[in-house]
Structure 1
Amino acid sequence: MARFLFLAAAGSCVATYSHGSCPLTHRTANVISRTAKLCNAVCLILSARTCQALKEEAHGEHSIQLLQHTRDRYGRQRAHDPSSFFNVSAILADSPEGTFLSRMSILVQAVGLTYNTTTPKFQPELADAHISSGSGTWFRKKQFDRDPDKGGVFARTFVNDERRSAVVAFKGICDTLGLEQCVIDACKLKSIGAYGNLSEAMASIVGADEQACEGYKEHLNYVEQALSYAEMVRAALEDYEIMMTGHSMGGLLAIVTASQMGLQALTFAPTPFHNVLKEELNLTDEQISRMDAKDLVATCDPFDCGINSAYVDDARRGSKTCLYMDTDEPSPCKSLPAPYESAGWREQLHTNGSGLASLVPAAQNLLCKMSAHQWPRYEAIVLEQGSDGAPSNLPVCNTDFSVLDVSDGMWQKLDFLRTWFGSYRPG
C-alpha cells in the first residue's frame, strides 16, 4: 500500500489535484487526501527538479478539457478547440473510444503517401491516391506538392473540405546510397548533430563529407523551407484546422514548424530537434521548455527514440514523447537494455569517441535504431488492433521521455518507477 501511495503521489495522469507543493492525480485524490504528509515526503525524496517536472506534467495533462492557447512566431493568438477533429490530447487518450485509430490512420496514410509519391520511393500506382478513412476522404492537393529538384524539404497536403481540416506531412530522410537528395539529407543531419558524437562518422559513410556538404550549403535551410511552405498552406486554407505530421526528419520539421506557427504536430520518431531550435531559431532553453508540449508530440518506439536520447542531450525538449511500449522489438534490440525501463539504461547505451572508429562500439545500437526506425514498422504498430478492435499499442506519454538529464542522479534512478506509474491507468 505504501508503494502504491508513493507512486500515485509522484505520478501524473489526466487531471491534477494538488496538496501543498506536490502534484497528485484527481483519480487518486480520495486516497491521497487522507495522507497529506506523504506528498511532502515524496517531494523530499525526489529532487526539486524532478518534483517540478512532475508538477508541470500533471498540470498540462488536464488540457483535454480546456481551450488550448498558443501564440505563433508573430505573436498572434492561436486557439485549439477541444472539440476539433484533431484534438491531440483526445487522440492519445483514445477518448472517446476509437479516436486514436481513426485519427492516427489518417496521419499514417499521410506520411506513407508522402514517402510513396516522392523520390526515391515513388510508386506510380499511388500518384493519384487520396486518404480514405471512416471519417471521410482526405484529398491530396497537388497544387501544394513540394518536390525540390536536388533535395531539401518534400511535403504533401491533404484536405477534407467538409471538416474544414488539413494535414501537412513532411517527408523523412532518404537512405539510398549515392542519390543526391539522400546526401543532402545526410549533410543536414550532420549539421544539426542528429547522432551526437557519431554525427560526423554517420555522414561520412554515405558520402556527406565536409567537401560535399559545403557544395550543398544553400540547400540545407530546411526549417526556412518548411516554414515558408506551411505559411503558404495556411494562407490558402485560412479557416481550416491544420495538423502537422511526419516521420524522422519529417517529424522534426513538423514539430519545429508547428511550434513557431501555433499549430499542432503529432509525429513519428522525429529526428532530435533541440539543436535546431537553439541554433537555427535562436531560442533559449527556457523558451524551449515553455513550448506548448501538449500540442507538440513525438510518438516513438522506445529503442528508436531512446537511442537518440542516449547520444543527444535534450533530444526532444519542448515536446511530449509518447512511447509504444511492449511491442515486439527487432532482433538487434533484444540484447540491449530497455530504454525508459532498465535502471541506468542511458549510460549503458551511450558510447564515446568520434570519427569512424566511434561506430564500432555503437554498431549494435545503430543496428537496433535503424531496424526500429523503419516507416513500415510504424505503420504496423500504430494501427495494430486487438480482438476487441481497440488499439493494441496505445502509447504512454510524458514530457520527461523527451529529455536527457545526466546531472541529476536521482532523476535517472527513477526511470523504471516513472515508466511504471506513467503506464498505470486506475479504473
Structure 2
Amino acid sequence: MQVTIHGGVGEKGRTCIGVAQAGTRILLDVGVDTSSPRGLGYYPAIGRDELRRLDAIIVTHAHEDHVAALGWCLANGFAGRVLMTAESAAEMGATLAAYATPEECALAARIAPEIIAAGQDFGIGPLAIRTGRSGHVVGGVWCHLGAEGRSLGYCGDVVPASPVFAMDPLPPCDLLLVDASYGADRVPAAERGGAIRRWLAAHPQGAVLPTPLSGRSVELIGLIEGPIAIHPSMRAALSEQIAAEAWLKPGIAALLAARLAAAQLWEEGRPLPPAPLLCDDGMGLAGPSRAALAEARRVGHPVLLTGHIPKASPADAMRTAGLADWLRFPTHPTLPENAALAAASGAARVLAHSCDAQTARLLAPDIPNLVADLKPGDSIEI
C-alpha cells in the first residue's frame, strides 16, 4: 500500500492523503489552505493526470480544510466516486459556498455522494475500509484501510475527550496519521474550557465568538452556561446537529437543545448583543462573522477567537492589532492524547497531519515512531 501526501503533512491546511493499492487509487479528504491565496498553494498538490486516475474520494467531514477542494478536483479531471456521511453531504454545500469558486460549487452540486455511516465496513477495489465516529463534529469519521495484511489509520480531525461528541476507538494499524492541529499543546480540555468561561465572565457586556457552524459551535453551546446569542441563519443547522443524538455523548442533547432554544438572535445592522455571540465561519472570511467582526472593531466590542486563525483573515488582523483575544478551544487532540492514540494503535510509523514539519518534530519525544520530515509530494510504503 502506497500513501502519498498531497497536502496537510508538513503544513497546516489542504489536508489530502492519497492511497494506492494494486491499481486502485483513492484520496482521503480534499481540503484547501485558507492561509494561502487562491492558486496552487490553496488546493491539494495533485496533478490533472493523477486526478483522472482516481477511483474515489472519501471525505471525513465537511470543514473547509477537508472538503472545499472537491469542486476543484472535479474541474480538473476527477470523475470517480465520492463517499461521505449523510451529515457531511448536507453540510458540504455551505462550506463550498464560502471557500470555492462558483464553478467549483456548481460542479460539486451535480454529484450524488455515496452515503457511508460510522461503523460501516465497505470496500473500494482491494481496500477494506472501516470508519468510526471522530468526536469532532456530527457526521465526522476516522478511516481505517487494510489490504494484504497491512493497514493505515487516518484520524481526519478527532477529539478523544469531547464533552459533547462521541469518538469510537481506532483499530490497530501499521501506519497512523494523527490530527496534530494543536501541535505540542498539553493543556487539558477541562482547563481550556475553564479559561474560556472565566474570560466570558470578565466580559459581561458580551463578546463576538467567531466559530465554525458545525462542531465547535455546538461545543461552545455546551460550555457556556449563561445566555448566548446566534445569527438566525445558524439555528436550523445547529438544531439538526443537536438532534443527531447518535453522534453525541449520552444525555447531552436535551441540555444543548434547551440552551439553543433560549438563544437571542442577532442580525447585521443591529447593535451587538450583551451576550456571547456565536457567528460562523470563525475567521471573518465568510458568513455572519464577517459583519460581526467589522462591527466589533468599529465600536470596540470584545472579541474572543477560539480556533485556528488563518493569516491575513479579519480575525488575524484584529488579533495582531490587539483588538481580539485568543483562547484555544479543545476541538483537536492534545499531545498526550495523540501519544495515547499512537501507542494504542501499535503503529510502527506515525505521521502528523495539520501541522508544519517544525511543529511535528516537537512531538517526536512523546511519539517515538513519528516520521516528521514528509511534505506534499512525498510517498511512504506500508
Q: Say whether the fold is shared (TM-score over 0.5).
A: no
Which of the pair has more CA radius of gyration? 1
User: Per chain length, whose mean CA-contact separation is higher, i.e. which structure has more relative contact order (CA < 8 Å, sep 6+)?
Assistant: 2
Instruction: Flag the structure with higher strand content.
Output: 2
Instruction: Flag the structure with higher helix content.
Output: 1
TM normalised by structure 1 equals: 0.29
TM normalised by structure 2 equals: 0.31
